[in-house]
Amino acid sequence: MKSMDLRRAAAALAAALVLATPGIGMAGSLAGSVGDKRFAPTLSLDPKQPCTKAYNAYIAASGHSAYATTAYVRVMDGYVLCGAKYNAPSQKAAEELAMKSCQSARAHYKVASGSVCLIAASK
């Protein structure tokens, strides 16, 4: 009889610790989260545009991810370039790789001046 009471008490204590410890009961996927949004990126209303696809994939990613983009200045720029990294080992690694992706898009399209790549959001 006493061993059954001890088991119940131990189970209740374990459940209380799991619920009371921040992060253990709440750990989960980052999918659907915007994360740390630094500024609102300029996105096309067309979901088939590459940067819109990349941003939507960033939101849907379940791990550490980042979305980098150039700012859109209507008077100077007629374009928006972007880069993203999904499900990286850490938020910092995702940001670094998203910046590299955006900068390689600038190099690919031979953009010499204008907007620079910035991290718009990361999680």
Confidence of residue 91 (pLDDT cuts 50, 70, 90): very high
pLDDT-derived band at 23, boundaries 50, 70, 90: very low
pLDDT at residue 24, as a whole number? 40
Q: What's the pLDDT band for 104 if we cut at 50, 70, 90? A: very high
pTM of the model: 0.74
Structure confidence by residue, pLDDT tens digits, 28-70:
689 999 999 999 998 989 999 999 999 999 999 999 999 999 9
Looking at residue 111, what is its pLDDT? 79
Q: Which residues pair with residue 36 across a beta bridge?
A: 122
Q: Supply the DSSP string of 14-83, one letter for each residue.
A: HHHHHHHSTTTTT----TT---EE-SPPP--S-TTSHHHHHHHHHHH-SSEEEEEEE---TTT-S---EE
Q: Residue 110 above 60 pLDDT?
A: yes
pLDDT of residue 9: 55
